[in-house]
Chain A
Amino acid sequence: MFPAPVHRTSPQWQLAYRTLLPLSVFMWLLPLIAVAVFSTRPAEDFTSGNYWGLPSSFEAVANYGRVFFDSDMPRYLLNSVLITVPTVVGAVALSCMTGFALGVYRFRANLWIFFMFVAGNFVPFQILMVPVRDLTLDLGLYNTRTGLVLFHIAFQTGFCTLFMRNFIRALPFALIESARVEGVSEFRIFRFVVLPLMKPAIAALAILIFTFIWNDYFWAVVLTQGSASQPVTAGITSFNAQYRAAYHLMSAGSIVAALPPVAMFFLMQRHFIAGLTLGAVK
């Protein structure tokens, strides 16, 4: 193990390590903690310049209440859900199939198609912006959640295929071979042999894509506008415009916007990290 385990070192260093841990986490998260503290302060603290002293009262309920009942935030949150969930389902479904095709079959174009997905996944968004906006307009899907979902599915298929293909490559190929010998059709092999084995990959990918899409801002501003279709990342700027300089409310709004992926992460941590670090070890 590297570095040497702490319990094998001197007691002084052990003690130092144990105090350093919480301290360093505190420092690391300080900017965020500050915002969380802001979100519980009353408005008067900001007008009177009491930014970092003791809060004059605890107003978390009132502040978060206004975020939920006195703004378009619930609508933006709902939009985010309605954009994120279909994208996750669509991208995972498509990439199960593409990953299967590229992971199991040997044919000449295989590597080229795989590289197309990988390369496309790396391109800067801006090169796609003008044509994708046009395409969405032509489809009559501009400023709809559907338009955003379709693009997200397409783009995420690149990353998901990379992921699924590598995962399937690591599965025991003998299973597929023996199924073929028994005359099972290719589709049934996919459905009943490979798919059940892909469950951990699907879980990991779903949570990853959820986070990516929930946090998307660029495409939200390019393809949608207004509270009818925009997700919460774009909504938070409108929210902030409404409450500009009302830092207690802007902080509360930001926390609300950030929370769903954070909750997802803590709930499904194992899958999340497994997904993120696929390929980080040989």
Chain B
Amino acid sequence: MADAAFARPGAGTPTETWFHRHRRAIAPWLFLAPGVLFFLFYVIFPIFQSFEISLYKWDGLGEARYVGVENYQKLFKDRAFETSLWNNLKWLVLYLLAVPAGLFIAIFLNQTVTGIRLYKSLFFFPFVISQVVVGLVFTWFYDPTFGLLNTILGWLGTGPLNVLGDPTLVTYGIIVAGLWPQTAYCMILYLTGLNAVDPEQVEAGRLDGARGWRMLWHVVLPQLRPATFIAFVVTIIGALRSFDLISIMTDGGPFGSSRVLSFYMFEKALSEYGFRMGYGAAIAVVLFLIMLGFIAYFLWSMQREEREG
């Protein structure tokens, strides 16, 4: 690395001494340069470019034509967009069930009986599997002819249920598939958090007569706040990013009823019938603005923590 050579003491030329004198101010920038440049070009600039593209009508190939906010005006008349937006909302709300579900399983597993480590690993490992495979696994699970779900429902004397073929059920069905790995993720966060819960406070709570729910609510949960924060962050991001499962399980169907913004954007921008790059970018901008609200909140709370710590 250049800076090792430059930093040799006693070298004579003026640049080197200047460098030597300021090396503590310059060094961080040298360390940052490759990472920051990469990140700027591949992540930060594209965000602004997408904003710009959303004001054009562009097929990704020929001339882009400036159309102002026309793409956005079209969005508000587009029923597929409306469906996607509603579905995104369902995702946001229901996906958060992964947080309490993860907490529940973590409490269930936070014991020291023999073999518990293996059980924890087995509960966790849906998270390690790719969403594509999770999607396939659940597609077959829901299959109306041979799916396990309907086989079980059959034993119970109800069903059959075609979850992925029913426009009112399909989004919930996909969310359940998504909850499977996400709950595992939240569980592992809480397991780690529970490990660090102060035993003295728990004992003190017990002496005060707190048990069960009250203990959880008043003594344990406050100590789990960092885990809860991260669980919320990753779950919200996950909910707004949902793409793989929809693409694999239903391809947006039946008749477009399981689309979400991220999927619809992809469909519009890279579809067979002409790249609606501008329109797709406009959808992405809407999605980004929704996310921006959360990002701002995350950064705000992180900053507060930085100040405290």
Do the beta carbons of B4 and A187 come within 8 Å of each other? yes
Do the beta carbons of A129 and B266 come within 8 Å of each other? yes
- Which residue of the partner chain, among A22, A110, A127, A188, contacts B288 with CB atoms under 8 Å? A127
Do the beta carbons of B41 and A123 come within 8 Å of each other? no
Q: DSSP majority for the B interface? A: helix
Question: Is B141 located at the chain interface by the 8 A CB criterion?
Answer: yes
**Would you list the 10 A-B pairs with minimal beta carbon distance, nearest first?**
A154-B42, A185-B7, A215-B130, A131-B46, A101-B31, A98-B35, A277-B192, A51-B146, A105-B28, A186-B27
Do the beta carbons of A95 and B35 come within 8 Å of each other? yes
Query: How many residues in A have their beta carbons less than 8 Å from beta carbons of B?
Result: 102
Size band of the interface chain B makes with A: 35 or more
Do the beta carbons of B230 and A101 come within 8 Å of each other? no
Known: A101-B28, A107-B25; 15 extra A-B contacts, CB below 8 A, are A1-B202, A21-B119, A25-B122, A116-B36, A119-B299, A122-B291, A126-B283, A126-B287, A130-B53, A134-B60, A135-B41, A151-B42, A154-B41, A187-B3, A221-B247
- Compute how far the CA of A221 lies from the CA of B246 in the bound complex, rounded to whole angstroms: 14
Contacts of B123 in A (CB 8 A): 25, 28
Do the beta carbons of B265 and A97 come within 8 Å of each other? no
Do the beta carbons of B269 and A129 come within 8 Å of each other? yes
- Which residue of the partner chain, among A1, A111, A155, A214, contacts B43 with CB atoms under 8 Å? A155
Q: A122-B291, A277-B188 are in contact. Are A261 and B111 (CB under 8 A)?
A: no
Question: 22 A-B contacts, Cβ less than 8 Å apart?
Answer: A2-B216, A35-B140, A94-B38, A97-B31, A98-B31, A101-B32, A105-B24, A130-B50, A130-B60, A135-B41, A154-B39, A155-B39, A158-B39, A158-B43, A187-B1, A217-B130, A236-B132, A266-B125, A277-B188, A280-B226, A280-B230, A282-B226
Taking the closest CB of chain A, its distance from the CB of B31, in whole angstroms, is: 4
Q: In the complex, which residue of chain A has the Cβ closest to the Cβ of B206?
A: A4
Do the beta carbons of B192 and A281 come within 8 Å of each other? yes
Contacts of A94 in B (CB 8 A): 34-35, 38
Do the beta carbons of B138 and A124 come within 8 Å of each other? no
Do the beta carbons of A38 and B140 come within 8 Å of each other? yes
Contact flags (1/0) for A9-29 with B, using CB distance below 8 Å? 000000001100110110011
Question: Is A143 located at the chain interface by the 8 A CB criterion?
Answer: no
Do the beta carbons of B136 and A236 come within 8 Å of each other? yes
Do the beta carbons of B298 and A123 come within 8 Å of each other? no
- Which residue of the partner chain, among B23, B188, B294, contacts A273 with CB atoms under 8 Å? B188
Contacts of A32 in B (CB 8 A): 126, 129, 137
Taking the closest CB of chain B, its distance from the CB of A113, in whole angstroms, is: 7
Do the beta carbons of A126 and B266 come within 8 Å of each other? yes
Contacts of A236 in B (CB 8 A): 132-133, 136
- Compute how far the CA of A187 lies from the CA of B5 in the bound complex, rounded to whole angstroms: 9
- Compute how far the CA of A24 lies from the CA of B119 in the bound complex, rounded to whole angstroms: 9
- Compute how far the CA of A258 lies from the CA of B295 in the bound complex, rounded to whole angstroms: 31
Contacts of A61 in B (CB 8 A): none
Contact flags (1/0) for B161-193 with A, using CB distance below 8 Å? 000000000000000000010000100111111
Taking the closest CB of chain A, its distance from the CB of B62, in whole angstroms, is: 14
Question: Is B207 located at the chain interface by the 8 A CB criterion?
Answer: no
- Compute how far the CA of A130 lies from the CA of B44 in the bound complex, rounded to whole angstroms: 13
Contacts of B270 in A (CB 8 A): 222
- Compute how far the CA of A7 lies from the CA of B140 in the bound complex, rounded to whole angstroms: 40
Question: Is A120 located at the chain interface by the 8 A CB criterion?
Answer: yes
Taking the closest CB of chain A, its distance from the CB of B245, in whole angstroms, is: 10
- Which residue of the partner chain, among B23, B262, B298, B299, contacts A124 with CB atoms under 8 Å? B262
- Compute how far the CA of A277 lies from the CA of B184 in the bound complex, rounded to whole angstroms: 12
Contacts of B36 in A (CB 8 A): 98, 113, 116
Which residues A247-282 have CB closer than 8 A to chain B? 247, 250-251, 254-255, 257-258, 261-262, 264-266, 269, 273, 276-277, 279-282
